[in-house]
Amino acid sequence: MSTAASTTWQMLSQNTRGKELPKGLDAAWDRAAGVVRRMSLHTKAYLARAQRVVKLEGQYKDVADAALRGKLFELRETFRRERDTAEHLEHAFAMIRETASRQVGMKPFPVQIAGAMVMSEGGIAEMATGEGKTLTATLPAVIAGWRGRGCHIVTTNDYLAKRDAETMGRIYRACGVRCAYIEQEMAPPDRKRAYQADVTYCTNKEISADYLRDRLALGRIKSLPEALLAKIAKGAGSGTDRLVQRGLFHAIVDEVDSILIDEAVTPLIISGEAPNAEQVEAFNEAAQLAAQLEPKAHYKINPRYREIEFTNAGRRKLAELAAPLGGVWSGARRREELVNQALTARVFYQLEKQYVIQEDKIVIVDEFTGRLMPDREWRDGLHQAVSAKEQLEVQAPKDTYARISFQRFFRLYRRLCGMTGTAAEARTEFWQIYHMPVVVIPTNRPCIRTMNPDHVYATEDAKFTAIVERIETMHRAGRPVLIGTRSVRTSEHIGRLLEAKGLDCQILNAVRHKEEAEIVAQAGQPGRITVATNMAGRGTDIKLGRGVAEMGGLHVIATERHEARRIDRQLFGRCARQGDPGSAEAFVALEDELVARHTPHLAKSLQKRHGKTKTTEISSKWNHRLFDHAQKKAQRQALRQRKGVLKNDDWLDEYLGFAGREH
């Protein structure tokens, strides 16, 4: 891509990302622009540029450390003054590549350089699992750090943020870039120092929470001129002295699909205590009333949208049951809202699936990662409804001081880019929401993964029986097996089935991130059986033990299809990394949540057809298509939901909020 085209592209991204989604003809024009943009991005072109960087190796290979450092510092000034060209970028990457080799013993491959090129121009690099994204990120991060306005490398948990900052720190220091990291327990003064660094590793949760706290400190101040005037007029009383961030300029998002899509609509909320004894009592009463209503007769269930709708008989029954309670229960609208939430908790939120109980409190389980989220609560009284259902002590809902979705937050950055192993399926959404194109980067070595077709069964029992049999077969052959699940409940169930067969396994669900990484790292040892949530250990390499490659490598089993094909690919990508052998397959059933929720009529029809088939496999072209169809419907629904949340964020920002665009 030419320098002029690259500059135009970056300006387009910066000018449109923070605005409202286009509508009507503007939306059609924007989609067309996205198609044209994707067509203009050729993987071969980026690989050719990467080869030019590799050819520059001879100019720097024999240069002394001090001299190389001097050349890096000289080039740093060029980027700080923003007088850089495509040629400057290639020389910078060549020198950073040589520095990485000397400092940490790792020299970026051409495919890693190509991925870095994509990110340096505001795009998303799809790089397969195990291709070295941590090292790849250092190249555009050094360039961003040189520009002097701060670069945030955003990852999924504190452990990875600290690990990557410490592992890559020597590269940054040798390039004249200050590097730091943010973790949950860090005090405000330490956070401020970390944000003052040129490159700051952090999680999406911590950085967005700091942003909200800074906005609260500023109060009604919405722009830089207002902040400067307030500083002059009020001094320390203006709130500017309590800020920890210095603005949102450049972000490199690791596992970009997880953060910008899977967690896009997750709202980050700053809240405070708001005791309300009557409200707490109402949640408990609602749970008791909900238990007395009957499905179909009193309410209808819509599993696809997770909605409850009262029937006329149900409204009459509820009014009759609530009559003796008086107070808040006298109004039809309010009592129906309370009981509807209680029914939602009973029907759609299940123990060891959407939540677990720890220390007599409800703790949310992230449905995408399987990790616990002890610091989050469901909104609009749902958390209290679940607590009441489980007969736990109900805490009053908190007052919201400030809120923002991750989707809205990351659209505030002037420059945004990212990397992940699975982005191609969401390339249209990445363009529409964030104006970032996706470029697929090939693997450094050919991928030799064996992908088996899905195994379809009529019932879950038959499916789990087949899974255990496959695990036994692989274990006898000495091959390690990684079993991916979508819930804590499923992982525990498989653990019990394996225990009954006398097979030892490591069960990984919702534990501390450091332990998670250590367990996943050992999953490639001979005969090892690891049961984990689909996304567990994301960012951690699974290295094969001695002799495992000769046996066929790691075998990955998915216990059901996820609602997003990307996450299936992410799980399967845990095997056959960096040219190693490996195999993967999925076992699915007509009773799985995916088809039961998104194609219920087709699923029930097939269940009737195969009702007598209790144990044998029923795989066929049409049965496979059922799961593909359900997955596509789930993905479309999720996209509509994310767009709806973004529109709602825009409305709140215009009429009620304070989160103005940062410059």
Q: Of the candidates 257, 268, 567, which has an alpha carbon nearest to the alpha carbon of residue 401?
A: 268
Residue 488, domain CATH: 3.40.50.300
C-alpha dihedral (337, 340, 346, 349), degrees to nearest 10: -80
Pairing mode, if any, of strands 481-485 and 529-533?
A: parallel
Average pLDDT over residues 188-203: 97
Asked if residue 505 and residue 425 are part of one domain, the reply reads no
Higher model confidence: residue 467 or residue 20? 467
pLDDT tens for 477-522 read: 999 999 999 888 898 899 999 999 999 999 887 544 556 777 888 8
Residue 379, domain CATH: 3.90.1440.10
Q: Is residue 143 in some structural domain?
A: yes
The region, left, alpha or beta by phi > 0 then psi within -120 to 50, assigned to residue 386 is: alpha
Q: Where are the alpha helices (H) located in 56-184, listed in sequence order?
A: 57-60, 65-80, 86-104, 110-120, 133-146, 158-174
For residues 300 and 309, the answer to whether their CB atoms sit within 8 Å is: yes
Asked if residue 133 and residue 29 are part of one domain, the reply reads yes
**pLDDT value for 234:** 67
Q: Of the candidates 119, 111, 136, 133, which has an alpha carbon nearest to the alpha carbon of residue 54?
A: 111
Asked if residue 470 and residue 591 are part of one domain, the reply reads yes
Q: Is residue 392 in some structural domain?
A: yes
Q: Cα separation of 118 and 256, whole Å?
A: 14
**pLDDT value for 511:** 47
Asked if residue 539 and residue 428 are part of one domain, the reply reads no
Instruction: Residue 644: count other Cβ atoms within 10 Å of its Cβ.
Output: 11
For residues 463 and 490, the answer to whether their CB atoms sit within 8 Å is: no
Q: Is residue 202 in some structural domain?
A: yes
**pLDDT value for 608:** 85
Q: Cα separation of 217 and 382, whole Å?
A: 29
For residues 584 and 452, the answer to whether their CB atoms sit within 8 Å is: yes
Q: Residue 24: helix, strand or coil by DSSP?
A: helix
Q: Residue 631: helix, strand or coil by DSSP?
A: helix
Asked if residue 67 and residue 212 are part of one domain, the reply reads yes
Q: Is residue 642 in some structural domain?
A: no
pLDDT tens for 151-181 read: 999 998 888 999 999 999 999 999 999 999 9
**pLDDT value for 537:** 58
User: For the chain, how many structural domains are there in total?
Assistant: 3
Q: Is residue 646 in some structural domain?
A: no
Structural domain span for residue 324: 274-397
**pLDDT value for 409:** 93
DSSP state of 452: P
Determine the straight-line distance between the first and last CA of the chain, rounded to whole angstroms: 27
Asked if residue 262 and residue 279 are part of one domain, the reply reads no
Q: Of the candidates 344, 357, 343, 348, which has an alpha carbon nearest to the alpha carbon of residue 387?
A: 357
Q: Name the token pair of 494.
A: 């498989």
Helix axes 312-322, 332-348, angle to 10 degrees: 110
pLDDT tens for 302-352 read: 988 889 999 999 999 999 999 999 888 999 999 999 999 999 999 999 998
Instruction: Residue 553: count other Cβ atoms within 10 Å of its Cβ.
Output: 23
Residue 464 has pLDDT above 80, yes or no: yes
- Residue tagged 């525990």 (tokens): 492
Residue 583 amino acid letter: S
Q: Is residue 495 in some structural domain?
A: yes
Residue 377 has pLDDT above 90, yes or no: no
**pLDDT value for 505:** 94
Task: List, as one string, the DSSP characters of 457-503.
Answer: ESSHHHHHHHHHHHHHHHHHTT--EEEEESSHHHHHHHHHHHHHTT-
Average pLDDT over residues 619-625: 90
Average pLDDT over residues 44-51: 95
Residue after which a domain boundary falls, among 366, 397, 428: 397
Cα distances from 174 to residues 66, 112, 169, in angstroms, run 10, 20, 9
Q: Is residue 592 in some structural domain?
A: yes
630: buried, middle or exposed (CB in 10 Å: 19+, 13-18, 0-12)?
buried
- Residue tagged 């019932």 (tokens): 459
Cα distances from 382 to residues 364, 387, 400, in angstroms, run 11, 9, 15
pLDDT > 70: percent of the chain? 88
Average pLDDT over residues 257-265: 89
Q: Is residue 499 in some structural domain?
A: yes
Confidence class for position 535, pLDDT limits 50, 70, 90: low
Asked if residue 278 and residue 252 are part of one domain, the reply reads no
Residue 81 amino acid letter: R
Asked if residue 411 and residue 501 are part of one domain, the reply reads no
Asked if residue 74 and residue 93 are part of one domain, the reply reads yes
Asked if residue 536 and residue 428 are part of one domain, the reply reads no
Cα distances from 451 to residues 454, 568, 572, in angstroms, run 9, 12, 9
Average pLDDT over residues 420-449: 93
Q: Residue 254: helix, strand or coil by DSSP?
A: strand
pLDDT > 90: percent of the chain? 63
190: buried, middle or exposed (CB in 10 Å: 19+, 13-18, 0-12)?
middle
Asked if residue 215 and residue 130 are part of one domain, the reply reads yes
Helix axes 277-290, 332-348, angle to 10 degrees: 60
pLDDT tens for 572-615 read: 998 999 899 999 999 999 999 999 999 999 998 888 888 766 77
Asked if residue 536 and residue 432 are part of one domain, the reply reads no
